[in-house]
A and B are shown apart, each in its own frame.
Chain A
Amino acid sequence: MPVIAVDSVWKQFRIPHERRSTVVDHLGGVLSMLDGRRYSFEEFWALKNVTFRLGHGESLGVVGPNGSGKSTLLKIIARIMKPDRGVVNTEGALASVLELGIGFHGDLTVKENALVYGVIMGLRRSEMKKRTDVILDFAGLTKFQDARLRHLSSGMQVRLAFSIAIQTEADIFLVDEALAVGDIEFQQKCLEKFREFKKQGKSIVLVSHDMELIRGFCEKSLYLLNGETRAFGASQESINRYLEDMKTLTAT
C-alpha cells in the first residue's frame, strides 16, 4: 500500500492580462465585456500529468530548476491547494514543513510559541504540553524557555520551529528546503532524526537543491522540469539526468 499516491495531477495557474482585483475593477470589466472585449488570461501549467507513488519508510527527493513545480506539488500533497485534474491520496497524519515558524509571535515566550506551533501542526494541546520539554531539549533551548521569542536569534527561532515539526510524530513529512537551517551540528541532528523516522516506517518528501543531501538520504527521486516529470526512479539516475540537462542548457 502506498502512503502517498499521486495520480496524473495537473495544476493550472492563470496569469491575467489585466489586473482585476476589486469590485470596481470587475464592474469596469463587465462594461468592457459589453463592448465585445473578453476577459483574457495566459494559461500556465505548473504541473503536467505528474504521477508517482511512495511507500512506507521510503523517502523521495524532488529536484528541478526554480519554477518547475516542486513547491506546488508539495502544496497539493499537503492539501493546501487543490489539483485541477488528478487525485492525491495520502495515508496517515501529515506534517508539512514548507515554511518554518508559522504562527510564531514575538511577544510570547519560547514555551508558549512551541505550544501554538504544535497545535497548528495538528497536535492536541494536551499532547503538546507533554512534549514541550523534549522539543526544547532537542532545539537546545531549554535555558531560554521563558524568554520572549523575539529576543532569540533567527537561527534559534528556526531551530525551535524545526524541532516542533519533527516532534509531531506524523507519518508523512513534507519538507521544503527547510533542512538548510541551523548550524552544522543541528543539521546533523535533524538528519539523524529523519533516518530514525525512516526506520520507523515513516515517509519523507524532500525538496532541495542540495544534490548531496538527496543522494545520501532519498532512495527515490522525482525530477521535474516545467511541470513535467523528466525522471522518476532511483535518486542517482534522476539526479544525473538533471545535472546533464543543466549542463546542455548552460552549454548552449
Chain B
Amino acid sequence: MVVLTIVFSLMLRVNIPNFAAWLLIGLLIWRFFQVGTTQSLSSIIGNQSLVSKVYVSRYVIVLANNLANSIGSALEFLVLLPLLVVLGINLTPYALLLPLILFLEFLLIFGLSLSLSSLNLKYRDFYQLWEIAMQLGFFLSPIVYDGSFIPSRYQFVYSLNPVTRLIELARDILLGRRLPTTFENIVILLGIGLLLVIGIVIFRSLEPKFAEEL
C-alpha cells in the first residue's frame, strides 16, 4: 500500500488536490472490501468441524469471519484520520459520517460473503476466480484515478459498482467537499440491500447440504 501511494502520487501527478489523502481513502475503502470478501470465502470450508460436527448457526460463522476482518480495517481507518490532519486536510463535521459509510460497506461485504462462502463449497475454484475479479475490480473502481475520467456514456454502468459509490462517498465527507444527495443514498442502499438479499437466498438454499459437501 505504501508502495502504491508513493508510486501513484509521485509518478502520476494528476491535478487532484491533496492527492495522497485522496488516494489513501480510496485504497483503504478498497482494502476493507477486498480483504473482507476474500477471507470470507474460506469461512465455511475452513471451519469444517464447526459445520459438520456440531450445530452452530452457519450465518454466525460467516458473520464472525467478517467481524474479525473488520477490526483490522477499523484500526486502519483510526490511523487514517490523524494522518489526514497531518496531510493538511481540515476535517469537517461531515467526517462523523464515516462510521455510517463503513457500516454500509460491512453490509455489502456480509451480503457478498454469504454468496461467496456457500458457493465456494460447491465450486472450489471460486477463490481463484474471486481473486481475478478483485484484480479487475481494483481498476474498475476510482482508486488510482478519478471516476470522472470515464466517458459519460459509460458513467451509468460504471457507477453501478457499489465500491465506487462508497469510495466517492468517503472522499466527499472526509475531504469536506459535500454531503451525498438523497438520490445517491437511495441508489447505494438499494444496491447493498439487493446483494444482501441475494446472499441470503443463495446461502439458505445451499446451507442444508453444507455438512455433506465438506
Chain A contact residues, CB within 8 Å of chain B = 13, 21-24, 26, 75, 78-82, 94, 96, 98-99, 102-103, 120-121
- Say if the beta carbon of B78 comes within 8 Å of chain A: no
Stretch from B4-12, B14-22, B29-37, B47-55 that touches the partner:
B47-55
B55 touches A103 (CB 8 A): no
CB contacts (< 8 Å) of B123 on chain A: these are 21-23, 26
CB contacts (< 8 Å) of A24 on chain B: these are 125
CA–CA, A13 and B211, complex, Å: 12
- Say if the beta carbon of B129 comes within 8 Å of chain A: yes
CB contacts (< 8 Å) of A23 on chain B: these are 123, 125-126, 129
Query: Taking the nearest CB of chain B, how far is it from the CB of A72, in angstroms?
Result: 10
CB contacts (< 8 Å) of A21 on chain B: these are 122-124
The 6 closest A-B pairs by CB, nearest first: A22-B125, A99-B53, A82-B208, A102-B49, A23-B123, A98-B53
Contacts A102-B54, A103-B49 hold; do A81 and B212 have CB atoms under 8 A apart?
yes
- Say if the beta carbon of B136 comes within 8 Å of chain A: no
A103 touches B50 (CB 8 A): yes
- Say if the beta carbon of B56 comes within 8 Å of chain A: yes
Contacts A23-B123, A80-B211 hold; do A102 and B50 have CB atoms under 8 A apart?
yes
CB contacts (< 8 Å) of B212 on chain A: these are 13, 81
CA–CA, A99 and B214, complex, Å: 16
Closest A-chain residue to B213, C-beta based?
A21
B55 touches A99 (CB 8 A): no
Q: How large is the interface on B (under 10, 10 to 19, 20 to 34, 35 or more residues)?
A: 10 to 19
Q: Contacts A99-B49, A99-B53, A103-B49 given; 20 further ones with Cβ under 8 A?
A: A22-B124, A23-B129, A24-B125, A75-B211, A78-B55, A79-B55, A80-B51, A80-B52, A80-B211, A81-B208, A81-B212, A94-B55, A96-B53, A96-B54, A96-B55, A98-B53, A102-B49, A102-B53, A102-B54, A103-B50
Query: Taking the nearest CB of chain A, how far is it from the CB of B93, in angstroms?
Result: 37
Interface of chain B, helix or strand or loop or mixed? helix
B124 touches A80 (CB 8 A): no
A78 touches B54 (CB 8 A): yes
Contacts A22-B124, A75-B211 hold; do A80 and B129 have CB atoms under 8 A apart?
no
Interface of chain A, helix or strand or loop or mixed? loop
CA–CA, A22 and B49, complex, Å: 22
A81 touches B211 (CB 8 A): yes
Closest B-chain residue to A99, C-beta based?
B53
Query: Taking the nearest CB of chain A, how far is it from the CB of B133, in angstroms?
Result: 12
- Interface positions, chain B 97-127, Cβ under 8 Å from A, are 122-126
CB contacts (< 8 Å) of B56 on chain A: these are 120
Query: Taking the nearest CB of chain B, how far is it from the CB of A46, in angstroms?
Result: 10
Closest B-chain residue to A103, C-beta based?
B50
CB contacts (< 8 Å) of B126 on chain A: these are 23
Query: Taking the nearest CB of chain A, how far is it from the CB of B56, in angstroms?
Result: 6
Query: Taking the nearest CB of chain B, how far is it from the CB of A76, in angstroms?
Result: 10
A120 touches B50 (CB 8 A): yes
Closest B-chain residue to A119, C-beta based?
B56
Closest B-chain residue to A76, C-beta based?
B211
Query: Taking the nearest CB of chain A, how far is it from the CB of B118, in angstroms?
Result: 14
A121 touches B124 (CB 8 A): no
- Interface positions, chain B 41-66, Cβ under 8 Å from A, are 49-56
CB contacts (< 8 Å) of A75 on chain B: these are 52, 211
- Interface positions, chain B 128-175, Cβ under 8 Å from A, are 129
Query: Taking the nearest CB of chain B, how far is it from the CB of A165, in angstroms?
Result: 10
